Amino acid sequence: MNNSIAGFSKFTKEEKINWIANEYFTNPQEAIAIIKQYWNSNEAVQKLHDEFIENTISNFYLPMGIAPNFLVNGKYYTIPMVIEESSVVAAAAKSAKFWSTRGGFKATVLSSEKIGQVHFIYKGEFEKLEIFFKTIKTKFYSETESITKNMQKRGGGILDIELRNKTTELENYYQLHATFETKDSMGANFINSCLEQFAKTLVEEAQSFEPFSEEEKGIQVVMSILSNYVPNCIVRAEVSCKVEELAEKKIENPDEFAAKFVQAVKIAEIEPYRAVTHNKGIMNGIDAVVLASGNDFRAVEAGVHAYASRKGKYSSLSHAKIENGIFTFWMEIPLALGTVGGLTSLHPLVKMALEILGKPSAHELMQLVAVTGLAQNFAALRSLTTTGIQEGHMKMHINNILNQFQTSDEERVIIKKHFENNTISHAAVVAFIENLRK
């Protein structure tokens, strides 16, 4: 078997599938059937999906769920979530319902700056480079006017451009550090286009700057690229109520629950091993809405985790306190999101998700995403500090086990009835299925 191949990208879709099936599977026809089973029956929709990426052979489906009853800034929202993990949507919906009778969620966008950088090498006197930068700074704006014109009409554009000296960390290394406002678009293409023009202007203008020596004129641009670290694109989400109002069926002693909850958050603030799992729970909610809304969850993840480490140690994104009998749980998080451009106008389910959310602006989407992350975190911490995380999770996970063993409807009724009052584990469910089938 030779798994290397030349010219694969030039193959037709059928040829690619046939090659994969024949090269990697003992039963090629079965592999082809599975691949084609997930094609969309609507040819136009399938063609759209095929063109999102290269070398497409099929669609990889994830469940899309709904979490209703989110009361955010006095208005009810239903949140679409795309995720495969058991109990995440249920937990978000449960949190939403809990807080809907306790004042709901408050969310505020604190700032929405995005960042891009031109990284370059300059061998010469810094003082000359500073003078050069000040001399040509206005040209960075004027020579990107054709790119920024439409964005400026929407109230966005280039906010500022700075020269940064990084030579103490890397020899001869400098940056143009630019900040942008991109309004309702995520703005990656806009920012990168501006940066590439900055780089061109920088190199060309250096050639005719008389104070520079010949070596100083030879500015070398290494790369021009936006940053997914957005510490000035921040949204705050919070919930609060009187401690006694936390009481419910599983919280019989609200004072004890609130104190334990705050301690759990403080542990995540100081212990990185706990903080990573704590923040992963937050991202269960955030990623699910980011995916549903057609945004880039990898960019969001990278930026969020960098932000969690901004003080030199990885720490909790959320915080909690009790003051004057009031329990408050909150989070400030960087989220660079868009509601126009990219998949938002292409993917039919993304368009539907944004409709469900009420066609939000980018700022509104930031608020809704942050709130879902906070709701998810509250649900996890409530479980951890009361019944434990496994009870609810395993109740949802049992469906995966039943599907794995292709149980019949009759078997499912018997199995679920048995585990209403017995501890659920993978081994216990498998053993019960095997006994049942004997």
Positive or negative: CA dihedral 401, 403, 406, 407: positive
Q: Which residues contact 98 (CB under 8 A, 6 or more apart)?
A: 248, 378
Which DSSP category does 185 fall into? B
Q: Give which of 305, 278, 289, 304 is closest to 368, Cα–Cα.
A: 289
Distance CA 355, CA 3 (A): 45
Give the contacts of 33 (CB within 8 A, at least 6 positions apart): none
CA 306, chain centre distance (Å): 13
Phi, psi of 157, deg, nearest 5: 135, -160
Neighbouring CB atoms inside 10 A of 391's CB total 13
Which helix or strand (DSSP H or E) is residue 206 part of?
A: helix 188-207
Tell me the three state secondary structure of residue 277: helix
Give 1's strand partners: none
Annotated catalytic sites, by residue? 85, 280, 296, 393
Q: Is 220 helix (H, G, I), strand (E, B) or coil?
A: strand
Is the separation of the CB atoms in 70 and 105 below 8 Å?
yes
**Tokens matching residue 382:** 């409530």
How far apart, in whole angstroms, are the C-alpha atoms of residue 200 and residue 138? 14
Helix (H), strand (E) counts: the chain: 16, 10
